[in-house]
Amino acid sequence: MNRAGMLRIAAYGIIGLGAALLIAALLLSTYTSGKIQKIPLNIDESLVSDGTGTALDPASLSGERFIIDKNVPLVSQRQITVESPANADVVTFQVGTSVRRSDKQQDNGLLLAMVDTVTLNRSTALAVSDDTHPGGSVQKPRSIEDDKPATNIALPHDGLSYRFPFNTEKKTYPYFDPIAQKAFDANYDGEDDVNGLTTYRFTQNVGYDADGKLVEPIKYASLYDNDEEGQVTARASLWGLPGPPDDPVTMTRYYAAQRTFWVDPVTGTIVKATEHANHYYARDPLKPEMALADYKVTTTEQTIEDQVAAARDERDRVGLWSRVLPISFTAAGLVALIGGALLGMFSVRAEAALIDPGLDTADHGFFGKDETGPMPAAEAATEKMPAARPDLESPPDR
């Protein structure tokens, strides 16, 4: 095979490569990006918030009167890990949440603890739950001395939990509260900059109105079989009530909360949050009589930095597959198509020169000799008529 033939084969190959790159760019920007924009399966987060509040002194439960301390330092910690099932379609979070007084040692300062499990759709971040697959559970409380395996209580979840969806929109989302055991609206409330990251701010009210007034608190859903923490009967003196000290008084536990989430709209990661939660006992739900824990906590700076870094990493991963590679493949594909076409034209000229060095290269195309040319009549041979030869030897006049 001569050099011109090899050049033509190379030109075809480069053009084919360019077409393949353009097809790959199209697939990356449509099909593949949808597969990439999913909740990761390797999440292992420790989210810490701190603040102050009014809280019960646990040691007073065995005293003569329940003691409520004000302006105590509090720490809320949430540990999120991935459990089974976790696959291409769903991810399951096991979330351990605790609130403790940081001025008390070990379990003496523990106010609240819960282990929540929820299965989410990795694309929509919505809970996967139906009658046969509740898609969620909470762990039944155990005493410190209890060494038996934990028992889970089925708890159907709905709405979002612990994340927002990729490409979060400026709208209202249902967001699940595992203490209230139902979803409440998280309303879009504006944009804010958090450590250089543009975020969407969402607010949620559980039992409160927008002004922070109790309007419809939630009766606490006890996780014990006999509802021993949902409704408590004690002497009036223990409650600190006037009247006969030994009169039994029954109070019901209620719960209300206000939350603000700052969400990365690209990945749905919650990078910052504030929470005002109020657990209290009362005979009238709108008139709290004894606070169990009434506090406000905000995500710590270290946790914010970690969450912003995680959101940026996820952004980079999504951007690589949905923007950078499609644009790069498109540019490379166009360059390959143009380069292949130019190489093809050069190979035709080279082949024409090998066949007949005197041929005008303009008479040849990429796919062979250009058969178009002058009309046949224009190339017809011109017939020449013989001219009369003069007689140079004429006889002289006589």
pLDDT string in tens for the chain (398-residue length): 566 667 667 766 777 776 776 776 676 666 556 667 889 999 999 999 999 999 988 888 778 889 999 999 999 999 999 999 999 899 999 999 999 998 887 777 888 999 999 999 999 999 997 766 778 888 877 655 556 777 888 899 999 999 999 999 999 999 999 999 999 999 999 999 999 999 999 999 999 999 999 999 999 988 777 777 788 899 998 888 988 888 999 999 999 999 999 999 999 999 999 999 999 999 999 999 999 999 999 999 999 999 999 999 888 777 655 666 567 767 776 776 777 677 667 666 666 666 665 554 445 554 455 555 555 544 545 555 555 555 545 455 44
pTM of the shown model: 0.75
Cβ 71 vs Cβ 92: under 8 Å: no
Would residue 254 count as lying in a domain?
yes
Let me know whether 19 and 111 are in one domain: no
pLDDT of residue 199: 97
Let me know whether 61 and 206 are in one domain: yes
Would residue 57 count as lying in a domain?
yes
Domain that holds residue 328: 1-36+315-351
Let me know whether 71 and 111 are in one domain: yes
Let me know whether 32 and 56 are in one domain: no
Q: Using CA atoms, how far apart are residues 22 and 14, in angstroms rounded to an integer?
A: 12
pLDDT of residue 262: 98
Let me know whether 44 and 104 are in one domain: yes
Largest CA distance in the chain: 183
Let me know whether 329 and 285 are in one domain: no
Let me know whether 288 and 215 are in one domain: yes
Let me know whether 169 and 218 are in one domain: yes
The region that residue 207 occupies, defined by phi over 0 for left and psi between -120 and 50 for alpha, beta otherwise, is left
Would residue 206 count as lying in a domain?
yes
pLDDT of residue 139: 84
Would residue 377 count as lying in a domain?
no
Let me know whether 189 and 164 are in one domain: yes
Let me know whether 67 and 115 are in one domain: yes
Would residue 162 count as lying in a domain?
yes
pLDDT of residue 398: 44
Let me know whether 99 and 217 are in one domain: yes
Task: Look at the chain and report how many structural domains it folds into.
Answer: 2
Would residue 307 count as lying in a domain?
no
Would residue 184 count as lying in a domain?
yes
Would residue 308 count as lying in a domain?
no
pLDDT of residue 362: 47
Let me know whether 30 and 105 are in one domain: no
